[in-house]
């Protein structure tokens, strides 16, 4: 299967959240591996991650974006922080860990809340917590 055919197939089967999650996963993995690969890899991984956030910021600023205004504002604020933090990170003056952490938090949000089991029992992370029944 050619790359173009794979990309078309992926686009036809993924919803926007899945596509965003996959993009964050790719760039987060690159950030995680970059320090071990050296300064050139760090610069590339941070620059790529910065571009991801810039693209997200542009989408959030669009009138076509239907997310709630408060959420859009919070995400734009994070994008601005990523932009500012990326410069010292590319110079090796700041750890990549905060960028990785933010990306992972966004990925968790894109996954959405855990779903309850079909028998009505809560997922393991919610076991023992009171329910609102």
Q: What is the residue extent of each domain of the chain? A: 14-110
| Residue entry with tokens 């910021």 | 57
Pair 68, 82: CB distance under 8 Å:
no
**Confidence class for position 12, pLDDT limits 50, 70, 90:** low
Position 14 scores a pLDDT of 78
Pair 24, 110: CB distance under 8 Å:
yes
Return the structure tokens found at 66: 């239907």
Nearest to 44 by CA among 78, 88, 90, 87: 90
Domain range 14-110, CATH class: mainly alpha
Across 66-95, average pLDDT: 97
pTM of the model: 0.74
Return the structure tokens found at 68: 């709630």
**Confidence class for position 99, pLDDT limits 50, 70, 90:** very high
**Confidence class for position 129, pLDDT limits 50, 70, 90:** very low
Whether 125 has a pLDDT exceeding 60, the answer reads no
Report d(CA 46, CA 9) in Å as an integer: 28
């Amino acid at each position: 299967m050619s790359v173009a055919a794979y990309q078309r197939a992926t686009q036809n089967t993924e919803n926007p959240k899945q596509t965003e999650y996959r993009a964050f996963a790719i760039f987060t993995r690159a950030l995680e591996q970059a320090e071990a690969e050296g300064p050139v890899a760090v610069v590339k991984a941070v620059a790529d991650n910065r571009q991801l956030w810039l693209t997200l910021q542009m989408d959030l600023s669009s009138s076509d974006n239907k997310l709630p205004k408060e959420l859009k504002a919070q995400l734009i604020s994070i994008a601005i922080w990523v932009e500012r933090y990326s410069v010292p990170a590319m110079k090796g003056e700041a750890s990549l860990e905060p960028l990785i952490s933010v990306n992972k938090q966004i990925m968790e949000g894109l996954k959405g809340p855990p779903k309850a089991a079909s028998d009505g029992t809560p997922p393991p992370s919610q076991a023992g917590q009171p329910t609102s029944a």
